[in-house]
Structure 1
Amino acid sequence: MLLGAIADDFTGASDLANTLAKEGMATTLFVGAGGKAGDCEAGVVALKTRSIPAADAVAQSLYAARWLMDQGCRQFLFKYCSTFDSTPHGNIGPVTEALLDLLGTDIAIVCPAFPATGRRIFMGHLFVGDRLLNESGMQNHPLTPMTDPDLRRFLRLQTKGEVGAIHLDTVRSGPEALSSAFAAERQAGHRLVVTDAIDDDDLRRIGKVATDHRLITGGSGIAIGLPRNFRDKNLLGNKVRPLPVPTGRGAVLCGSCSSMSQKQVADYSRDNPHYALDTGALMAGKLTVSEVTDWVLQNSHANPLVYSTADPGTVSSAQAAFGRDSVATTIERFFGELALALVDSGVRRLVVGGGETSGAVVEALSVRSLRIGAEIDPGVPALATERNGLLGLALKSGNFGAVDFFAKALQQVGTA
């Protein structure tokens, strides 16, 4: 294994694995660390650490990093969301600093840019489309409301030292200028350096200069330029591994409340059976997994949708009534148990919306690794694994995918 990556959620892990596979690295997605890695050039370890206490996130990330080190990795990548989902007391800064210490290196690029999905960094500020992060809808995220687009200022709340920055004009001034800029940041004692990027060429420029960087952090976009460095050293085998095609019934589960997820749920619901989870009934224990499983199986000929997706006002009301963490934990557990019941009842194609929901589903299914297939929409590949036979999956971050994503994804993760 040449490149080892740690992702703080499952949709981000599949997104990153998709990027590396498209760029020519034989890539495997691992659910947690441990055991035998098998034959791959890039290994992506999917964790579920985005919203847990920082100390726990650090411990799990370090365990994964040590496992990747044991696999012989030469370079490491810490992957978080391209909308920088965190809090002032969150995990991105502490995990990055802990990885720097473990790897014995003194600088980490911070670049969550993903231009294909509208995430761009300019003057250290994160944009989503033509809006600053805090005006994009992310300010209403139920777990990680992002109210400050200045990544340097936000990271400074989480870290022990000052945060550096390299702006777009330097990124575009050539490799020598960019290398000198990183050297200057290192000399200034800035261990985390927010680096501008507004298109894929910027990411490739950064990737080229980062060939000898031990640790890189960011969204999946920052990985675009990394495989070429290994290829230039004649380290890649350029192996193409076709994805097997599962056959059978399909279902869609969506726990994300993002603005795009709301549109996707509305679009899919027009032509397909759909079941909206009643949060009050769920919290009161009046809605059971077996009840919803029976409904899905009765409608499995039409690839039904089960969702907890709702507008910010509805979400806020539920959180006020039952507690934010309690609502999130209950819904995630419900979707995990539902996915397990469906797959063990013969569902062979499963599309999941939402990072936390995807993590709960994959953990409940107890799969160890997933193979990477074709890209469905930017950042979201088809996946295949084994659970009582071949299983096709798509794991979608809340704001990813086109409006018609669910229907497309079901077609690409297998056949009816």
Structure 2
Amino acid sequence: MNTDLAPLDPPADGLVVAFYGDDFTGSTDVMETLEDAGLPTLLFLEPPTPEQLAAHPEARAVGVAGVSRTMTPAQMHEELPPAFRALAALGAPLVHYKICSTFDSSPTVGSIGRATELLRAELGDGPTPLVVGVPQLGRYTAFGTLFARYGSEVYRLDRHPTMTVHPMTPMHEADLREHLRPQTALPVALVDLRELDGDDDTVGRSVASRLAEAEGLVLLDVDDLGSQRQVGRALHRMLETARETGSPVGVVGSSGVEYALGAAWGASGAAESLPVRQPTKTLTVVGSLAPATRAQVEVALDAGFALVEVDDHALVDPERSAAACADAVARTVAALGRHDRVLLRTPVPAAGGGAGGAGGDSAPVDGTALADSAPVDGTALAAALGAVTAEVVRLTSVPRLVVAGGDTSGYVAKALGIEALRLVRRLAPGAPLCRAVSPDPALHDLELCLKAGQIGDPDYLVLLAELGSTPQEGTS
């Protein structure tokens, strides 16, 4: 397929995309993809008002970092309609419900089908494109089936080493039409790779016809840069029509939506980096047990990060939580008084190498809590870690905060009470360094990195703590 054809022209002015992310770290992925496509983006914690947006006239895209991936359909019914309504009111022609590229969902948790129904209830019942494949992230859709990279191999998602054993939404069906069937009664049409292979005019007419005749969702395959570009051209045409009519179009999908638009526009270069401060102290909070994060923690402890370990069971126990949170705050504040790099985490299960983890012996350790062996409620733990982190930041004014874990990142950001995030620098896909926007001077310009557990190389936490330490990276 020829990918060296003339790009389309993106809208020259005004807001172009408004999105709601179903988890926090996925939302930062969309933000950096939009920035790379040439659209300055603000990521809010709550749907912004027109007045809030007016304070940032440079913004061409706006997002809301949500937590709907862990919600029940009933909770979605309370959360999503007002968010979609608020985003549509901002005037963007495209409103995107952003989902995880591994399609994390079930009929009872994070239902993509239910979220789509709610989006259509607000924006109208026209065709709703569904774009999931992101070759840049190792996610591919072919004939409606989702594949994902793990290490150097690519697996069908229902045979994927981690997604098949996901603790909340294990994937047992890789055909996305079949996976959606228990989640919604909406029909799901498919535009497969055969229809995306050809010259621009032929593909454009074919896809436009398929979209026009669709009555529900339309899944568009993306398995390489050529199919991605054709899907982006289809989204661009819908966006242009929405600008003309003044009626926004709803789209569901991963950051593949924005990658596709960038491919159609021929704008996929790295966004310009903002200055990074010379680091003084960095607090890292780990709420993930993903293998990638475990490896990063081991490297960080070997590099001399001070470890503060907290009891996860005590943090979520109604009778012990207040004391456990106060203890965690006190020990973390004390550690930051003695060390420049502090890592706060709950104990690693014995199968992962013991509570201290590899490298714990060589790192300064500020308290080790004993924990029960039974698992705890992940949402409650993320909320508790969010509260602890916010109090530590308030007491210490630490200038750089790193959080590992999608749910933990969302709860930390909400507990801090920041208004929005701006991209500072790309570090790893979906895990950029950002700067906080807040009416609170103590939080405004706080440097933040909020990453999913599976993102980043083993030395990611160390490199992030050192970012800005060399003269060429400057200060601000």
Q: TM-score per shorter chain, which class?
A: 0.7 to 0.9
Q: Secondary structure at 2:184's aligned position in 1?
A: coil
How far is the alpha carbon of 1:105 from its aligned partner? 4.4
Q: Distance in 2 between matches of 1:260 and 1:195?
A: 30
Q: Alignment partner for residue 308 of structure 2, among 267, 272, 275?
A: 275
Count of matched residue positions in the alignment of Structure 1 and Structure 2: 403
- Distance of aligned partners of 1:61 and 1:167 in 2 relative to their CA distance in 1, 3 Å threshold: same
Letter in 2 for 1:273: A
How far is the alpha carbon of 1:122 from its aligned partner? 1.9
Q: Alignment partner for residue 341 of structure 2, among 303, 308, 319?
A: 303
Residue number in structure 1 paired with 2:250: 215
- Distance of aligned partners of 1:354 and 1:69 in 2 relative to their CA distance in 1, 3 Å threshold: same
Q: Secondary structure at 2:313's aligned position in 1?
A: helix
Contact 1:382-1:412 at 8 Å conserved across structures: no
- Distance of aligned partners of 1:310 and 1:112 in 2 relative to their CA distance in 1, 3 Å threshold: farther
How far is the alpha carbon of 1:260 from its aligned partner? 2.1
Q: Distance in 1 between matches of 2:342 and 2:144?
A: 42
Contact 2:311-2:346 at 8 Å conserved across structures: yes
How far is the alpha carbon of 1:166 from its aligned partner? 2.0
- Distance of aligned partners of 1:108 and 1:146 in 2 relative to their CA distance in 1, 3 Å threshold: same
Residue number in structure 1 paired with 2:90: 71
Q: Secondary structure at 1:216's aligned position in 2?
A: strand
Letter in 1 for 2:445: L
How far is the alpha carbon of 1:289 from its aligned partner? 2.3
Q: Are positions 1:337 and 2:387 aligned together?
A: yes
Q: Distance in 2 between matches of 1:309 and 1:19?
A: 34
Q: Distance in 1 between matches of 2:46 and 2:266?
A: 27
Q: Distance in 1 between matches of 2:335 and 2:447?
A: 19
Q: Alignment partner for residue 452 of structure 2, among 368, 393, 397?
A: 397
Contact 2:229-2:264 at 8 Å conserved across structures: no
Q: Alignment partner for residue 132 of structure 1, among 150, 156, 159?
A: 156
Deviates more, 1:385-394 or 1:150-159: 385-394
Q: Distance in 2 between matches of 1:206 and 1:309?
A: 44
Q: How does 1:3-402 map to 2 (within 5 A)?
A: 3-35=17-49, 36-37=52-53, 38-39=56-57, 40-89=59-108, 90-129=110-149, 130-134=154-158, 135-175=160-200, 176-177=202-203, 179-181=205-207, 183-184=209-210, 186-189=212-215, 191-213=216-238, 214-226=249-261, 242=274, 245=277, 248-271=280-303, 272-284=305-317, 285=320, 288-300=324-336, 301-308=339-346, 310=348, 321=374, 327-344=377-394, 345-385=396-436, 386=438, 387=440, 388=442, 389-402=444-457
Deviates more, 1:158-167 or 1:261-270: 261-270
Contact 1:248-1:346 at 8 Å conserved across structures: no
Q: Distance in 1 between matches of 2:448 and 2:407?
A: 15
- Distance of aligned partners of 1:362 and 1:212 in 2 relative to their CA distance in 1, 3 Å threshold: same
- So what's the TM-score if we normalise by structure 1? 0.87
- Distance of aligned partners of 1:128 and 1:361 in 2 relative to their CA distance in 1, 3 Å threshold: same
Q: Distance in 2 between matches of 1:413 and 1:138?
A: 36
- Distance of aligned partners of 1:230 and 1:31 in 2 relative to their CA distance in 1, 3 Å threshold: farther
Q: Distance in 2 between matches of 1:202 and 1:144?
A: 28
Q: Distance in 1 between matches of 2:459 and 2:223?
A: 26
How far is the alpha carbon of 1:391 from its aligned partner? 0.4
| Structure with max Cα Rg | 2
Contact 1:246-1:390 at 8 Å conserved across structures: no
Q: Distance in 2 between matches of 1:107 and 1:376?
A: 36
Letter in 2 for 1:291: D
- Distance of aligned partners of 1:254 and 1:201 in 2 relative to their CA distance in 1, 3 Å threshold: farther
Contact 1:138-1:145 at 8 Å conserved across structures: yes
Deviates more, 1:153-162 or 1:281-290: 281-290
Residue number in structure 1 paired with 2:362: none
- Distance of aligned partners of 1:45 and 1:282 in 2 relative to their CA distance in 1, 3 Å threshold: closer
Q: Secondary structure at 1:383's aligned position in 2?
A: strand
Q: Distance in 1 between matches of 2:166 and 2:325?
A: 26
Q: Distance in 2 between matches of 1:283 and 1:71?
A: 38
Q: Distance in 2 between matches of 1:163 and 1:413?
A: 48
Letter in 1 for 2:386: G
Q: Secondary structure at 1:224's aligned position in 2?
A: helix
How far is the alpha carbon of 1:30 from its aligned partner? 0.9
Residue number in structure 2 paired with 1:235: none
Q: Secondary structure at 2:296's aligned position in 1?
A: helix
How far is the alpha carbon of 1:59 from its aligned partner? 3.6
Q: Distance in 2 between matches of 1:355 and 1:413?
A: 25
Q: Distance in 2 between matches of 1:312 and 1:133?
A: 28
- Distance of aligned partners of 1:65 and 1:281 in 2 relative to their CA distance in 1, 3 Å threshold: closer
Residue segments in structure 2 that go unaligned for 5+ positions in a row: 1-14, 239-248, 353-370, 470-474
Task: Name the Cα RMSD after superposition.
Answer: 2.9
- Distance of aligned partners of 1:122 and 1:413 in 2 relative to their CA distance in 1, 3 Å threshold: farther
Letter in 1 for 2:105: S
Deviates more, 1:300-309 or 1:79-88: 300-309
Contact 1:275-1:305 at 8 Å conserved across structures: yes
Residue segments in structure 1 that go unaligned for 5+ positions in a row: 233-238
Contact 2:279-2:466 at 8 Å conserved across structures: no
Letter in 1 for 2:260: G
